[in-house]
Structure 1
């Protein structure tokens, strides 16, 4: 720990397996499903895919931003119980806004590195179930007085410290980094095109667990169920990737006056959940998805919160002894196009190494769950392309940034030599 942020290095820690649901647009097929039930689904699936008994898990870590159900306080515990983890195993709620998924992995690595056995990490978000809420009517309503119900979904994205929402912080970065509307739209178009092509090519199929009507039984307790809308038998792919064009993007109005951010170059609002298993290498005898090497978390000015990944990545590289040129792929959450462009510009980062299969502009951003998606997508790319190092990073509302460094466990420095000698 230092005044410039927090760095953690991990030894012999692996991400064994990771999965996610499809990311589905606000008000879509997952809109009525509790994030707890989405979390149970991915938790059960990640255990099954890894061929790991729930009894091997000795901690459950779970995160969700919105109070999307009346039993939201119980989210970590119920995910653990209904996924089959023994009652004696504790469950902890974790929250770092848009970096919650990354923080789950950090907490899991610290647990495993401190003598733990295996951590079940789950992040679930129902943006559709964000409540219409009021905090000032506990004592009733004054006759003729103002009724102060507000939409939690949008109000929660406003930071009262700098008195601006997250879109305004991205516009701040656009002004500071001299990013024009055309430049921002150009990147958004690239992200949408990459996401569309990735869906066509089936890149995400191995990550996604289909969702269908299903109940989860737990002896002596009430069942929990997933019920899709009438007429929907299953949900098998992300719903947001779609074709767009420079002309379509340019026609959209800026959200704030002379700003550059629009609905087309900002992340999509979606529902979804993801899960990962983290273990010490000594606890698994199967090939693992990735080695988790290090993490960095930093604070930045709230009014420029989107620049957080820069300082986190710089700290990560400085303390790990690597250079940016050593990093083969980066997955940086696309909260807004201006935000990710400002990060890339500051780092002097080649866009060809960044979000190569599309990002949150194209597929969406279920707040707590995105960090886990970034890491599983990154790990898969490293394996498929025989690359070694990757960094996943995200900005955090309120002015923070987080980054994780992973390594491909199957990397071969000289694959052609290996092939010839086989």
Structure 2
């Protein structure tokens, strides 16, 4: 695939709360500010493709178009907003790679944004969340409940969940060498945020073990669905990625810009798994992509695997025997937070950082989401 990453940037991830660090900016303004951090000229940008899950209120009305206007991107630049749940940011960059490889555009800005302080989880109140016309085993289940169902089904213990969570925080606390793509957020020259806010360096196994399961109360509206499934509540609040505000963008261009690129996109694809096993969609996409590329996980130098609840990284290592020293070396979402529509692009920017810092060549991003959605992307660092 002749698609290259000229730049890949992310904002800090800040706590999604009233009067949080980024609430002074609209999601469109947050994206616009990040576009201004690209060193490359943007006059030839043909499209802005933006992932966002909560497309209502501050994030409704084609958020990509609003972002384009705030960023003063060229008039001819088209803008589209994509909802592929928590794989949205990576899928958007994949579609951008397709577009430049086909010669549709010279360059595309793609990624995602989610400001969960302004648009909370499930704020769109979609009919899908409680659709009685679907078969019970195909209905929507919130990811927190899916995580406990999967942990129960696969026999993942609380101890394993806590160990994965602790490692994420420990690595995140030591992640300073891997922050080349992180850009402070400013408003009229004032710095609003310059670091990820949810990392808890003081986390211990003892403190994690003391926390009770956190999501049983969420089950009541989904009782009809859950009665068909065995579920033991094992994930605590600490075993879940914090809700945050944040954005990430990639500047994607064709072969004519190869000499300026950080990395080449070798391939990507979206895939899906059972809606009941919604946190396995990313692994399904990864398997298909590696087979397509004739590679195995042993060939990959660094992996950014989305920590969508602690059960996901535990199963990833258990199922594939992957070397943990290759995975999320600067910590993951359990420590840093999960800005849903931005997550895939956040992971890609982090992957570029860790490949460059550690001298790796091949990198893999794996993103997953509710309903069984998943996405994976393989990149090669430019030497």
Map residues 207-356 of structure 1 onto 2, 5 A cutoff: 207-214=181-188, 233-242=191-200, 243-257=202-216, 258-283=232-257, 285-286=259-260, 288-356=261-329
C-alpha separation between the residues in 1 aligned to 2:117 and 2:58? 15
Q: Is residue 31 of structure 1 aligned with residue 23 of structure 2?
A: yes
- Greater gyration radius: 1
1:108 aligns with 2:96: yes
In the alignment, the residues of structure 2 paired with residue 33 and residue 276 of structure 1 have an alpha-carbon distance, to the nearest angstrom, of 21
Are the equivalent residues in 1 in contact too, given 2:305–2:367 (CA < 8 A)?
Answer: yes
Report the counterpart of residue 11 of structure 2 in structure 1.
Answer: 21
- The DSSP-based 3-state class of the residue aligned with 1:375 is helix
Seen in structure 2, the aligned counterparts of structure 1 residues 390 and 202 have a Cα distance that, compared at 3 Å, is closer
Is 1:170 the counterpart of 2:144? The answer is no
Any residues of structure 2 matched to 1:24-173 within 5 Å, and which? 24-27=14-17, 28-46=20-38, 49=39, 51-52=40-41, 54-67=42-55, 69-70=57-58, 72-115=60-103, 116-130=105-119, 152-153=122-123, 159-160=129-130, 161-162=138-139, 164-173=141-150
CA RMSD of aligned residues (A): 2.1
Higher helix share: 2
* Larger CA deviation: 298-307 vs 355-364: 298-307
Which sections of structure 1, spanning at least 5 residues, go unmatched? Answer: 1-9, 132-150, 216-231, 411-422
Which of 323, 330, 333 is 1:357 aligned to? 330
Q: State the distance in 2 between where 1:292 and 1:31 align.
A: 34
TM, length-normalised to structure 2: 0.88
* CA distance 1:61–1:107, shift in 2 (3 Å): same
Give the distance between the partners of 1:174 and 1:155, measured in 2 at CA: 27
Deviation at 1:373, TM superposition (A): 1.1
Task: Report the 3-state secondary structure (helix = DSSP H, G, I; strand = E; otherwise coil) of the residue aligned with 1:365.
Answer: coil
Secondary structure of residue in 1 paired with 2:36:
helix
- Structure 2, unpaired ranges of 5+: 131-137, 217-231
Measured after TM superposition, the shift of residue 213 of structure 1 is 1.9
Q: Distance in 2 between matches of 1:392 and 1:106?
A: 11
Q: Secondary structure at the match of 1:73?
A: coil
**Superposed CA offset, 1:355-382 (max 9, x none):** 1110000000000111111111111211
1:43·1:122 contact (CA, 8 Å) conserved in 2? no
Equivalent pair of 2:272/2:372 in contact (CA under 8 Å): yes
Q: Residue in 2 aligned with 1:203? A: 178
